[in-house]
């Protein structure tokens, strides 16, 4: 009688190649997900900083100097964030035909656009507000 030989067990070359291919695919998907999450975190940080700058700027409009219609531009953080501020007399959309009041308190629409990066649609913040300007604080001659 011959002794029983146990067959050697192991992985074939094809099985090893398939395992490495699956591992490479899984790592590619994982790294793609992580880089997407990193982009989202960076965008959220940039948008948060832009919102803080915008709130700070729009809060000062009409406080230190009288409101007057016009446009101004500037930048924050050495040009990383750019802003455009527009001030215009506000007209009630329901009463478009009504004339503007030449004397007395007036409402002004303050529109602020803040952009960063390339200034694409995801890199833009727009704020709008109304400000009441008393007759003696409108920058108009009396």
User: Does any domain span residue 6?
Assistant: no
Average pLDDT, the chain: 84
| Predicted TM-score of the model (pTM) | 0.65
Closest CA to 57 of 125, 138, 7, 136: 125
Q: Which domain holds residue 27?
A: 13-93+104-137
- Tens of pLDDT, residues 94-110: 776 666 555 667 889 99
User: Does any domain span residue 44?
Assistant: yes
User: Does any domain span residue 17?
Assistant: yes
User: Does any domain span residue 2?
Assistant: no
Residue 40 maps to which CATH number? 3.30.1300.30
Grade residue 4 by pLDDT with cuts at 50, 70 and 90: low
Give how many domains the chain has, as a whole number: 1
């Amino acid at each position: 009688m011959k002794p029983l030989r146990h067959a050697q067990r192991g992985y074939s070359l094809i099985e090893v190649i398939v395992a490495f291919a699956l591992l490479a695919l899984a790592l590619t998907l994982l790294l793609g997900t992580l880089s997407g999450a990193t982009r989202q975190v960076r965008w959220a940080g940039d948008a948060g900083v832009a919102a803080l700058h915008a709130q700070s700027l729009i809060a000062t409009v009409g406080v230190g100097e009288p409101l007057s219609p016009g446009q101004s531009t500037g930048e924050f953080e050495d040009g990383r964030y750019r802003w455009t501020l527009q001030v215009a007399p506000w007209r009630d959309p329901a009463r478009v035909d009504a004339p503007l009041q030449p004397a007395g308190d007036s409402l002004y629409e303050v529109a602020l656009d803040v952009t960063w990066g390339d200034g694409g649609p995801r890199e833009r913040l727009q704020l709008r507000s109304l400000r009441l300007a008393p007759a003696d604080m409108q920058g108009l001659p009396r």
